[in-house]
Amino acid sequence: MATPVTIYGPPLSTAVSRVLATLIEKDVPFHLVPIDLSKGEQKKPEYLKIQPFGQVPAFKDESITLFESRAICRYICDKYADKGNRSLYGTDILSKANIDQWVETDGQTFGPPSGDLVHDLLFSSVPVDEALIKKNVDKLAKVLDIYEQKLGQTRFLAGDEFSFADLSHLPNGDYLVNSTDKGYLFTSRKNVNRWWTEISNRESWKKVLEMRKNA
């Protein structure tokens, strides 16, 4: 029996939940070690040995340690290619490249405004800066306008099969749609709304949300 991989961090973290969803999609056994950020556990010397920047998540697979959620997810998909959802990260060089370009779009274009909104509206300890909120709403709206066009051509971002490109958007998107008043950015766009409804109802993501509730 394979030794479970270990993921360090709270399920409430968007980055941790991205890795959890990938592990569940790939049917890879895992052990979750909660890290209490409020107590500074991510800055303890033993944790910094596996995550030198003192952030979450961190990941161990036997003697291998990794950090940064998207790198971890790619590793999981490649190492455990024959497990679970085999097409999650593509099955050939072209499909992988197609997925990667949307994962990069998530990280560099969708992620910054959506992540800032999630932080400022839900997790910040300082008063909301309405001007900054509007700036990020406008940025995200422009991104989702492009998504709307793309999703009018294909069922999912990287084609007609669900992939890591779609999964990577779930953490920030879920908070915005279900925990803030900015969900209209998704639901007001026909194709984006259809896409979002489908990917957010996957069993893997429902399991992650259950883990959040029980955290």
Spatial neighbors of 168 by CB under 8 A, at least 6 apart, are 18, 70, 73, 102, 103, 106, 107
Q: Is residue 5 part of an annotated ligand binding site?
A: no
Spatial neighbors of 98 by CB under 8 A, at least 6 apart, are 90, 158, 159, 165
Nearest to 16 by CA among 62, 79, 72, 88: 72
Side chain identity at residue 38, one-letter code: S
Q: Is residue 15 part of an annotated ligand binding site?
A: yes
Q: Is residue 13 part of an annotated ligand binding site?
A: yes
**What residues are paired with 6 via a beta bridge?**
31, 60
Angle, in degrees to the nearest 10, between helices 111-118 and 170-179: 40
End-to-end CA distance of the chain: 27
Helix (H, G, I), strand (E, B) or coil at 65: strand
Q: Is residue 87 part of an annotated ligand binding site?
A: no
Q: Is residue 56 part of an annotated ligand binding site?
A: yes
Sheet holding 64-67, edge to edge: 30-33, 5-8, 58-61, 64-67
The 10 Å Cβ neighbour count of residue 30 is: 18
Structure tokens, 135: 């700036």
Q: Is residue 51 part of an annotated ligand binding site?
A: no
Q: Is residue 42 part of an annotated ligand binding site?
A: yes
- 5-8/58-61 β-pairing: antiparallel
Binding annotation for glutathione = 13, 15, 42-43, 55-56, 69
Annotated binding site: 13, 15, 42-43, 55-56, 69
